[in-house]
A and B are shown apart, each in its own frame.
Chain A
Amino acid sequence: MLEALQVFLFDYTFRTVALGAAALGAVAGALGCFAVLRRQSLLGDAIAHAALPGIGLAFLLTGSRATPVLVLGAALAGWIGTLAVMGIVRGARLPEDTALGIVLSVFFGFGLVILTFVQRLPLASQAGLETFLWGQAATLMAADVQMIIIVGAGALALLALFWKEFKVLSFDGAFAASLGMPVRRVEFLLTSLLVVAIVLGLQTVGVVLMSALVVAPAAAARQWVDSLGLMVLLAAALGALAGVVGVGFSSAGSGIPTGPVIVLVASAIVGISLLAAPGRGLLAELVRQRRVGRRIRADAVLADLYALAMQHEDRRYGHPVATLRTMRHGEVGIERSLETLAEQGWARELKPGSWGLTPEGEKRARTRFLDQDAEHP
C-alpha cells in the first residue's frame, strides 16, 4: 500500500502517464457534456471507430509513428466519418442510427484492412499501432503528454470563447438560428472539438472504448448539478479522476490494457452518481418517496380521527387503534402514522391503545381537509 503510494507520488513514468490520462479525461469530460446534452452520445463511438483507418494510413504514408502524425490522421478520418454520417442522413434520408452504424463498422473494417498492411511491413517501428485498439497508457511519452495538454487546452480555450454559442445551440437550436447565429458553422466547430477530444484519447484508451470516456463523466456530472457551467467543470474533474485511477489500476497489473480499466472506473463513477447524487439521485428519490408516502398515510389517519371526533359529543374522546385500522381497511403501519401525528403534536394517546386529536390537530385537519380557517362552532 505504502509502496503503491510511493510509486504514485514519485515514479516519473507513472506521473507522466497519470498526468496525460488526467488531461485527456478532463478534455473528454468537458466536451462530452455537449455530446450528451445534444443526444449525440453515439456519434462519439462512430468518430472513435472511424479514426482507425486514419491512424493506419498516416503511418503507411509518412512512415512515422510519432504521435502527432498519427493523431492528425485519426482526426482527419474521424472528421470524415462525421461528414459521412451527415451525408448519409441528408443524402440517403436514412435514420441517424443506421448512418452511425454503417460509418462505425465500415470505417473500422477498412481500418483493420489497413492494419494488416501495416503488420506486414518489415519494420520494427510498426509495433505500437495495436495499442490504438485497446489503449496502452504505458506507451505515453512526455512529448505525448505535452501534446495532449497543449491541444486539449486549445480545445478548452475555444470552448470558453464560444461558450454562449455552444450553450444556445445545445439547448435550443431553433432559437440560436432565430438570433442569426450561423448554426451550421457553430455545429461544425463543436463537432470538430468533439473529434479532437476523442482522438487525443485514442493512444491511452483505444479506439474501441474511447467514446465511453466522452459520455460517462458528462452523464455522471449531470446527476449532481443543474447548470451547464458547473456540469462542464464537474465532468472535467470526474474525467480526470477516471483517467488517473484507471491508469493506476492498469499499471498495478502487467499486460492489462488501459482502456477497459478507465472505462470501468468511469462507469463506476456513473453508477455512484446515479445512486447517490443529492436531488436527482435514485436514493434521494427513494427517501423522498418514502417521506411523502408516510405523510400521506398520516394525513389519512388524521382525517379519520377528525371524522370520528366530529361524530362524538366529546371531541377529546379516545378512539381505539383497532377502529382506526378498520377505517384504513386493515392497512398496516397505523401505529407509525399515529407516531408521526404525535410527533407533530396533532394527536395524542389518551389512554393505552386509544387516540384522539389535540386542539392543534383539529385545527390542522380543518385547514387541510375543509380548506377553511374558521373555528368550529
Chain B
Amino acid sequence: MSGLDFEIQLLAVVVSVACALPGVFLVLRRMALLSDAISHSILLGIVLAFFWVQDLNSPILILAAAATGLLMVAMVEALHATRRVKEDAAIALVFPALFSLAVLLISRYAGNVHLDVDAVLLGEIAFAPFRRLEVAGHDLGPRSLWTMGGILALNLLFMLAFYKELKVSTFDAGLAAAMGFSPVLIQYAFMGLVSVTAVGAFDAVGSILVVALMIAPPASARLLTDRLPLMIGLSALLAAISAISGFWIARGLDASIAGSMATAAGLVFLLSMLLAPDRGVVASLLRRRRQKVSFARLMLTIHLLNHENSPAAPEENRLGHLSVHLRWSPEFARQVADRAERDGLLDRGEGDRLHLTPLGREAARHFMAR
C-alpha cells in the first residue's frame, strides 16, 4: 500500500466518522432528509463566498456554507409556518431552488475554475492528497485531512459537551424544554454542526453521497442496538468499515471512490437489516417461526386435554386428526408433536395416538387459566 493509498483511506475514514456522528441524531430525530437538503444548499454559500474572496481554500467558504445551511433550515421552517405547504413539500421546494441557483452560477460564471458541477456530485477524494498543507516548508499532509480532522474534533467536542442536551431533546422534547434547554437553540446549533460537517465532506465525496455517510451507518447501528452510547460507537465503527471497504471496492473495480463508499455503506446497512441479532429480518423470521411452533405446541396440549377421557378421545387425539381439527398440514403437525414430545408434554401411544404427560396437562391448564 502506497503512502497515497494510505492517505486517501485515512481521509475517507475521517470523513465518514465525522459524518456518522451527527448522523446518529439526524436519524433519531427523524431529520435524515435535512442532511440531503443541507448538503445541497451549502453549495450556494460556497459559490457566493468564492465569488467574494476568490480563494477556494479560504475558511470564509466554510462559514458561508454553514450559514446557507442554517438559512435553508430557517426558510423551510418559515415556509412551513405559513401553513401553505406541508413540511416535506417545504423541504422539497427550498433546497432544489438554492442548489439550482448555485449550479447556475457555477456553470455561468465559474466554469473555468476548479469548482465545476461534476465535482459537486463526485467530490475529489482521489485528488485530495495532492493538495498539501505546508507550514514553513514542512509538509504536514493533505490539506483536507486537516480540515476534516478539525471538523471531526469539533463534532466530538460538541457531542461531549452537549451530550445530555442532545439526548434529552432528541428523545423527549417536552422534558428538554421543561428542564430549561432551548429547543430552538439546540436545533440550530446542531444544524450548524451538520452544515459544517457537510461542507467538509462535500469537498471529498460530493453533495449527495454526504447523505449516505450521514444516514446509512447510524441507521445500521440503530438496528444493532437500543442504547445511545453504543449506537454512536457502532456508527463510527461501521462508517470506518464502509470507508475502507469502499476504497478497496473502488480500487478493485477501478471506479469512483466516493460512489463505492456510498455503495459499501449501503451494503453494510443491508447486512445489518438482514442479520441484526434482534431487529434483523432473519432474526424476526426465525422468532416468528419459533413462536408459531411454541404456540401450536400449547394449542395441542389444550386440544388433547379437552378430549382426554372422552369417548371421542381415540379418534380426536391422533396425530393424523390434527390436520382435520386444527387445520395443520401433516408436516407441521408432526413438527409440533415432536417438539411437544421433546419438551415432555406428551407421549406417543400405539398407532398415532397422543397422550398428555402430567406436565403437559399442567401446562394446558395453566395456559387456559391465564
Query: Does any Cβ of B come within 8 Å of A117's Cβ?
Result: yes
Query: Does any Cβ of B come within 8 Å of A109's Cβ?
Result: yes
Please report which residues of chain B, range 92-120, place their CB below 8 angstroms from some CB of chain A when the two chains form the complex: 92-93, 96-97, 99-101, 103-104, 107-108, 111, 117-118
- Cβ–Cβ contact B96 & A209, under 8 A: yes
Query: Does any Cβ of B come within 8 Å of A111's Cβ?
Result: yes
- Cβ–Cβ contact B266 & A102, under 8 A: yes
- Number of A interface residues in the complex (CB < 8 A): 60
- Cβ–Cβ contact A212 & B97, under 8 A: yes
Complex-state Cα separation, A263 to B100, whole angstroms: 7
- Min CB gap B129→A, angstroms: 19
- Min CB gap A172→B, angstroms: 16
List the A side residues contacting B88 at CB < 8 Å.
Answer: 39-42
- Min CB gap A21→B, angstroms: 15
- Min CB gap B275→A, angstroms: 12
- Cβ–Cβ contact B35 & A101, under 8 A: yes
Tell me which of A39, A98, A209, A260 contacts B27 (CB under 8 A): A98
Query: Does any Cβ of A come within 8 Å of B211's Cβ?
Result: yes
Query: Does any Cβ of A come within 8 Å of B190's Cβ?
Result: no
Please report which residues of chain B, range 132-168, place their CB below 8 angstroms from some CB of chain A when the two chains form the complex: none
Chain A 82-93 interface 0/1 with B at a Cβ cutoff of 8 Å (1 = within)? 000000100111
Which of A208, A218, A261: most chain B CB closer than 10 A? A208
Complex-state Cα separation, A45 to B99, whole angstroms: 14
Residue ID in chain A nearest B97 by CB atoms: A267
Query: Does any Cβ of B come within 8 Å of A361's Cβ?
Result: no
Q: Quick one: given A41-B91, A92-B223, A111-B259, are A49 and B96 in contact (CB under 8 Å)?
A: no
Complex-state Cα separation, A349 to B317, whole angstroms: 104
Which of B100, B101, B260, B262: most chain A CB closer than 10 A? B100
- Give residues in B with beta carbon < 8 Å to A: 27, 30-33, 35-36, 79, 82, 84-86, 88-89, 91-93, 96-97, 99-101, 103-104, 107-108, 111, 117-118, 121-122, 208-212, 214-216, 219, 222-223, 250, 253-256, 258-263, 265-266, 269, 273, 279, 281
| 6 A-B pairs (CB sep. < 8 Å) | A95-B27, A109-B266, A133-B121, A134-B103, A211-B92, A264-B100
- Give residues in A with beta carbon < 8 Å to B: 36, 39-42, 44-45, 49, 88, 91-95, 97-98, 100-102, 104-113, 115-117, 120, 130, 133-134, 208-209, 211-212, 215-216, 218-219, 222-223, 253, 255-257, 259-261, 263-264, 267, 270, 274, 280, 282
